[in-house]
């Protein structure tokens, strides 16, 4: 679970600290209120590609830091990669004006690959209109194929 989010010089945000409560979090607000920018910032913490345009005009860098609850699966990944474990998982990303970025996990430099591996265990973002794919027949087939896995391939070989 995400416990807090700190954003600095990201898009139109100067600086903001958001503390989350347990349970589901819903971002609401008028058009242009910054909901998508907050989601984009969280996206940076789960390993999405950085863009120089994320850095606020007039700033040299953007900085995003998230504090998450850890769990046994995350602790194992951290230990397997020689990272310290703690009660909390601290992920940060600094994006420079030139587009280069630096990722830290528990205050140690990390790769984007490791970040994605860890965060895929923690964060799941759902967006507006995401459920529309449920009306698509080809999506149903894809779900079934993924669920059945290799069993379907094995059955096809038999016939």
Residue range(s) defining the domain that contains residue 150: 129-159
Segments in the chain forming alpha helices (H): 35-45, 72-80, 112-119, 137-148, 150-158
pTM (predicted TM-score): 0.76
Q: How far apart are CA 106 and CA 32, in angstroms?
A: 33
Least confident of 8-12, 43-47, 59-63: 43-47
Query: Same domain for 75 and 102?
Result: yes
- Encode pLDDT of 94-103 as tens digits: 999 998 999 9
Query: Same domain for 96 and 151?
Result: no
Give the contacts of 66 (CB within 8 A, at least 6 positions apart). Answer: 2, 4, 5, 6, 42, 45, 90, 91, 92
Query: Same domain for 29 and 94?
Result: yes
- Encode pLDDT of 98-126 as tens digits: 989 999 999 999 999 999 999 988 877 66
Query: Same domain for 151 and 96?
Result: no
CB–CB of 56/63 below 8 Å? Answer: no
Count of domains forming the chain? 2
Query: Same domain for 143 and 120?
Result: no
Query: Same domain for 29 and 106?
Result: yes
Query: Same domain for 136 and 120?
Result: no
Give the contacts of 146 (CB within 8 A, at least 6 positions apart). Answer: none
Query: Same domain for 24 and 95?
Result: yes
Query: Same domain for 121 and 140?
Result: no
Question: How many C-alpha atoms does 111 have within 13 Å on its Cβ side?
Answer: 6
């Amino acid at each position: 679970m995400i416990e807090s989010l700190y954003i600095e010089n990201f898009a139109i945000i100067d600086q903001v600290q958001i503390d989350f409560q347990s349970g589901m979090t819903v971002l609401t607000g008028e058009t242009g209120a910054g909901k998508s920018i907050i989601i984009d910032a969280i996206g940076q913490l789960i390993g999405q590609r950085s863009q120089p345009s994320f850095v606020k005009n007039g700033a040299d860098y953007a900085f995003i830091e998230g504090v998450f609850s850890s769990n046994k699966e995350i602790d194992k990944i951290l230990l397997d990669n020689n990272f310290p474990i703690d009660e909390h998982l601290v992920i940060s990303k600094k994006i420079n004006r030139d587009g280069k970025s630096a990722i830290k996990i528990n205050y140690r430099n990390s790769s984007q690959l490791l970040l994605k591996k860890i965060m895929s265990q923690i964060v799941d973002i759902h967006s507006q209109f995401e459920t529309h794919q449920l009306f698509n027949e080809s999506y149903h087939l894809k779900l079934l194929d993924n669920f059945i896995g290799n069993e379907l391939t094995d059955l096809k070989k038999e016939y």
